[in-house]
Structure 1
Amino acid sequence: MGRIEELKGKNGRNTEDILLKTDVLKDSPALDVLSEFYGVEKVESIPEDDIDYELIKQFPISFAKRFRILPISKDNGTLKVVFAPPQELYALDEVRSRFNCSLETYIALERVLTDSINRVYEQGKDVVSEDINEGSGLSDMEFTEPQDLIEAEDEAPIIKFINTLLFQAVREHASDIHIECFEKEVLVRFRKDGILHDVTKVPKTVQSSVISRVKIMSELDIAERRKPQDGSIRLKIGGRDIDVRVSTVPTSWGESVVMRLLYRSSVLMSFEQLGLEGEKLETVESLIKRPHGIILVTGPTGSGKTTSLYAALQRINLPDKKIITIEDPVEYQIQGINQIQVNTKVGLTFANGLRSILRQDPDVILVGEIRDRETADISMNASLTGHLVFSTLHTNDSVSAVTRLADMGVESFLIASTLSAVIAQRLVRILCTQCREQYVPVDEELGRIGFAREACPEGKIYRAKGCQECMETGFSGRIAIFEILLIDDELKNTILTHPDSSTLKEKALRNGLITLRMDGADKVAKGITSIDEVLRVTEEELAES
């Protein structure tokens, strides 16, 4: 402290100012000096297990961030709090008054406290506890650059409401937020694990304000209500980077808004995490190591196609390979891969982008989606010139991809000579391991999914029940089921005869094709999912059988 007193005498500055704005702390452990100056004990970290989340519910996020103070626990009328300098005296008085108790104070470095506040308010299960119609005190954000939701200041109720929706959607791992206008009310729903759930209803009187707020955030024209619009928002919630794709369409009772949440910092999944195992995993591993050819992934929107393709790119992302993608949108950033965003406003379409990619000397190309003949022809010609090409198609099963390409006008000889495999997939919900219940299925139930009772351990399988851990849904997370169509020489010859889907599928089944329903049945037998889930996502296959 002698050095501090010397600086005070020379500069006429107060002690706290010297501690924070000079390099004196470089000569001593910073936390030790601050602890001695303030006369309180130090803490080097704040374990989450020590946090009382009931207290957190009573403590505004904006106050915690602004005054660098966090309540930890309360015992026998004494509240334990951690603060970081500089500290306003009235802030501690406010805490003392709010909780009507004495304080036991501890000091931490600002970065430690800030990290703890972000973590606590993001992960606390009951933080967003107030009625969503009233807002939870979450505050306004500027969205031209990614901002931290937790750091914003208090604002109007509509702004609080939209911010609360975003915060809660991220906390509950929702993929989409739906705001739908009806005659007498506005309905808000979240899509979680592929299923829509009602969240709240909003009074009709605030409909325009809610829609306008979303439009302002996504830089859309708030005056235009007669035609669809698309926009995007970049933000941070609790330190997580998130892209929000916004779509509006006019309906009878007002505009419908869908916000799709893309978690840019999400951990990319491996094949094993996706649900590939055994022989299917070996098959896919072999396919992606080929030097050329086309591998297509098919399925409806939201079936995990992009995630599967990214898993493949991760597997082959080595220093000896140049990988370029063209996507709409670029959903995940992968280190070491050149990723291009489609921009139709400047003429950067899949087809035009693909032509430019071919001049970049790539080894592997990913085309986000084959939407037309032009893109299909360029992709197939790229594979003929020694490139491995990945892409997606919107078809119900693997076999339909072949006929879909033919319907686009692609020559059958080009399909037969370039197509290596088609992988169809769906996402099924995973049974909650905390509450799933075992039962003996009836023969009719087993027959619908297509496997014998002998395939079930002890003749029993599992079904959903529901508990607090899974929010009474009976499920937690999702996993993929797959159908892999390998284009061997026999199928190549069949494709040249312009077959319909049923003929091609019959040939593939004779050659050992394992369908989506069959793979789903295997996951039912292993207790991963339920019969109802597999039936839900394979309705088309059931209709054809």
Structure 2
Amino acid sequence: MGRIEELKGKNGRNTEDILLKTDVLKDSPALDVLSEFYGVEKVESIPEDDIDYELIKQFPISFAKRFRILPISKDNGTLKVVFAPPQELYALDEVRSRFNCSLETYIALERVLTDSINRVYEQGKDVVSEDINEGSGLSDMEFTEPQDLIEAEDEAPIIKFINTLLFQAVREHASDIHIECFEKEVLVRFRKDGILHDVTKVPKTVQSSVISRVKIMSELDIAERRKPQDGSIRLKIGGRDIDVRVSTVPTSWGESVVMRLLYRSSVLMSFEQLGLEGEKLETVESLIKCPHGIILVTGPTGSGKTTSLYAALQRINLPDKKIITIEDPVEYQIQGINQIQVNTKVGLTFANGLRSILRQDPDVILVGEIRDRETADISMNASLTGHLVFSTLHTNDSVSAVTRLADMGVESFLIASTLSAVIAQRLVRILCTQCREQYVPVDEELGRIGLAREACPEGKIYRAKGCQECMETGFSGRIAIFEILLIDDELKNTILTHPDSSTLKEKALRNGLITLRMDGADKVAKGITSIDEVLRVTEEELAES
């Protein structure tokens, strides 16, 4: 140790750096020096008979390799662990927290520990796999393209389980994966076509390992369990690039994890794929070709607003137009369009970003969401100066967007002079064409969505049944229903009188407004969706009528 102190004074380096990066250990037994430096007992080997494989099941191999720590056994509330230098202090704290006990630490050379980790996890593979399989057949799935699924260091069971989970979610076109911790089990659910479905249950014994694996993949702090965290994963599955947004929040029985999967194919769609046709399609086409004005898309979260806006931008993304967006977040990069990500940490808000955009000589501007009066005022003034502006609002229908802007404090004359149209939308599930069932509805059923029997071919419509093709759901895919409010001269004059939503809606209906429910009824008559689906997404409208 005297030689080490001499090197410290000469080079200004810390003790651990000298131990690991110089040849000072050449003339001394390395393990003895390390043991003295760290103040813990040494182990020259780790006998396999000493390993408790029940502990291994709760400890991710990725963590063991990254931080060079291996749990050995637990006795009377004390956990015996072996580590190799260099060691991060918070890693030992994480182990202490994970097992809720005190630690008895030992030190080993890195090569000894690495060999033990590889050997232990290989032998423990069957034990962990059995535990996962008790709750699910999910891990039995065979990967068709494992080489591009995840850039994984190894094939440990927990890693395989998460990989399989992601693979199956993509295969089933799920938009979200939910991992929820309860008292006796961990529930995994997929959101498909807007509806949550149970997928599997994971044993409580592997809860920490599963969540830690997701955190490591999304570069989150695995030691932080008290605060919500957000991260992301970029991966390739079956040749498709997938962005995964990860959110964790602490709950009573452990952390809840939600992974949102973003696919290019689901974000970049045409108007026709979205469900616009006929007169509605012509109306939207003419609106987006206007040189100025504001077009708002409204609806709750998950109603397809961003997808519709991207479809509009793609349609007008031509060499003679400069298009700039400010979004939170940027869901997908579109070639030829300048996209800005909101970053409140550095003061880049919708309002501040919009001011900067106006100095960039744009023709078309997309504002991800109008959240306050400042953003609304800047957007409307931008349209007055010759820009076409797209944005979104969270309202139940089209006419409520007008009153929402007024509630924000936007002057009525500004709304009337700049607002071109409001498009409200919802997503309904499409009936599976392999198993949908034709039937004759009763008058009361048709009346609930205002559908005339004459509008139905032979007086019949379709309902969901369920088959192997649609995984017994009765549905396959989604399509939008729309409500397009055109702000004509008559409505402009009405807006100037500060009307409430009901007055404005009455006026719009007299002028021929086709509501969400009406558009849904049309898709029911065409056999695209069911009455129950339309009722599910238009509850607010039914309550108002």
Does the 8 A contact of 2:364 with 2:388 survive in 1? yes
Question: In the aligned structure 1, how far is the partner of 2:463 from the partner of 2:42?
Answer: 51
Moved more, 463-472 or 103-112: 103-112
Secondary structure at the counterpart of residue 542 of structure 2? helix
Indicate the SS of the match to 2:428. Answer: strand
- Report the 3-state secondary structure (helix = DSSP H, G, I; strand = E; otherwise coil) of the residue aligned with 2:506: helix
Question: Is the CA contact 1:146–1:241 (under 8 Å) kept in the aligned structure 2?
Answer: no
Deviations 1:27-76 (A, max 9, x none): 99999999999999999999999999999999999999999999999999
Q: Distance in 1 between matches of 2:361 and 2:463?
A: 51
| TM-fit CA distance, 1:141 | 18
Q: Give unmatched runs, 5+ long, in structure 2.
A: none
**CA 228–359 in structure 1, closer or farther in 2 if over 3 Å, else same:** same
Q: CA shift at 1:502, angstroms?
A: 1.0
Deviation at 1:463, TM superposition (A): 0.5
CA deviation after TM superposition for structure 1 residue 106, in Å: 53
Q: CA deviation at 1:319?
A: 0.8
Query: What is the CA distance between 1:345 and its match in structure 2?
Result: 2.2
Structure-1 separation of matches of 2:13 and 2:314: 56
Match of 1:327 in 2: 327
How far the C-alpha of 1:116 sits from its partner, in A, is 36
Q: Which moved more, 1:242-251 or 1:167-176?
A: 242-251
Counterpart CA distance in 2 for 1:255 and 1:310 is 34
Task: Check the 8 A contact 1:139/1:149 in 2, yes or no.
Answer: no
Q: Is the counterpart of residue 88 in structure 1 residue 82 in structure 2? A: no
Structure 1 residue 229: deviation in Å? Answer: 1.7
Contact 1:128 1:164 in 2 (8 A): no
**Which range moves more in the overlay, 188-197 or 325-334?**
325-334
Structure 1 segment 467-506 matched on structure 2, within 5 A: 467-506=467-506
More displaced 10-residue stretch of structure 1: 333-342 or 139-148: 139-148
Instruction: Give how far 1:333 is off.
Output: 2.0
Greater shift, 529-538 or 335-344, is seen at: 335-344
- Give the Å deviation of 1:175: 0.3
Q: Comparing 535-544 with 200-209, which one deviates more in the overlay?
A: 200-209
Per-residue CA shift, 1:81-136, capped at 9, x if unaligned? 99999999999999999999999999999999999999999999999999964899
Task: Compute the TM-score of the two structures, normalised by the length of structure 2.
Answer: 0.74
Deviation per CA, 1:146-167: give whole Å up to 9, x if none: 9931664543222222111111
Q: Per the alignment, do residues 209 and 62 of structure 1 end up closer, same or farther by CA in structure 2, a change over 3 Å counting?
A: closer
Out of 47-56 and 216-225, give the one that drifted further: 47-56
Q: Distance in 2 between matches of 1:541 and 1:320?
A: 41
* Alpha-carbon contact 1:370-1:393 (below 8 Å) kept: yes
Give the aligned CA root-mean-square deviation in angstroms: 14.2
Distance in 2 between residues matched to 1:268 and 1:45, nearest whole Å: 57
Question: 1:84/1:285 Cα in 2 relative to 1: closer, same or farther (>3 Å)?
Answer: farther
Change over 3 Å in CA distance of 1:508–1:152 after alignment to 2:
same
Cα 1:429–1:107, aligned 2, differ >3 Å: closer, same or farther?
Answer: farther
Give the secondary-structure state (helix, strand or coil) at the position aligned to 2:360: coil
Maintained 8 Å contact 2:135/2:200: no
Question: Does the 8 A contact of 1:402 with 1:415 survive in 2?
Answer: yes
- SS of 2:353's equivalent in the other structure is helix
Query: Matches of 1:107 and 1:433 in 2, distance apart?
Result: 64
Which secondary structure does the structure 2 equivalent of 1:352 belong to? helix
- Greater CA drift, 49-58 or 184-193: 49-58
Instruction: Identify if the C-alpha distance between structure 1 residues 299 and 363 changes in structure 2 by more than 3 Å, giving closer, same or farther.
Output: same
Q: Does 1:313 align with 2:313?
A: yes
CA 1:85–1:351: 2 relative to 1, 3 Å: closer
CA distance in 2, matches of 1:147, 1:288: 43
Residues 406-426 of structure 1, C-alpha deviations (whole Å, 9 max, x = no match):
111211111111111000000
Q: Is the 8 A contact 1:291 1:386 kept in 2?
A: yes
Q: Distance in 2 between matches of 1:446 and 1:417?
A: 40
Q: In structure 1, how many angstroms separate the alpha carbons of the residues matched to 2:236 and 2:472?
A: 29
Q: Residues of 2 paired with 1:468 and 1:484: CA distance?
A: 37
Q: After the TM superposition, which of the residue ranges 169-178 and 402-411 deviates more from structure 2?
A: 402-411
Displacement of 1:519 in angstroms is 0.1
SS where residue 255 of structure 1 aligns? Answer: strand
Query: 2:179–2:189: 8 Å Cα contact kept in structure 1?
Result: yes
TM-score between the two structures when normalised by the length of structure 1: 0.74
Identity %: 100
Partner secondary structure for residue 462 of structure 1: strand
Which stretch has the larger CA shift, 469-478 or 143-152?
143-152
Q: Secondary structure at the match of 2:135?
A: coil
User: Following the alignment from structure 2 to structure 1, what is the Cα–Cα distance between the partners of residues 432 and 261?
Assistant: 24
Any conservation in 2 of the 1:134–1:157 contact (CA below 8 Å)? no
Contact 1:299-1:426 within 8 A present in 2 as well: yes
The CA deviation string for residues 286-327 of structure 1, in whole angstroms up to 9 with x for no partner, is 100100000000111111111111111111111110011111
Q: Which stretch shifts more, 230-239 or 61-70?
A: 61-70
Task: Please tell me whether the aligned partners of residues 435 and 474 of structure 1 are also in contact (alpha carbons under 8 angstroms).
Answer: yes
Deviation at 1:328, TM superposition (A): 1.5
- 1:252/1:50 CA distance change after superposition, 3 Å: closer
Change in Cα spacing, 1:230 to 1:54, as seen in structure 2 (3 Å) is: closer
Shift in Å, 1:208: 2.0
Q: By how many angstroms is 1:474 displaced?
A: 0.7
Cα distance in 2 between the residues matched to 1:204 and 1:148: 30
Distance 1:113 1:429, change over 3 A: farther
Verify the 8 A CA contact 2:426 2:480 in the aligned structure 1. yes
Q: Report the CA distance shift for 1:348/1:463 in structure 2 as closer, same or farther (over 3 A).
A: same
* Cα 1:204–1:34 shift into 2, 3 Å: closer
Residues 431-472 of structure 1, C-alpha deviation per residue, up to 9 Å, x if partnerless? Answer: 111111110000000000102111111000001111111111
Matched with 1:77 is 77
Q: Contact conserved, 2:174 with 2:193, CA < 8 A, in 1?
A: yes
Conserved? CA contact 1:218–1:232, under 8 Å: yes
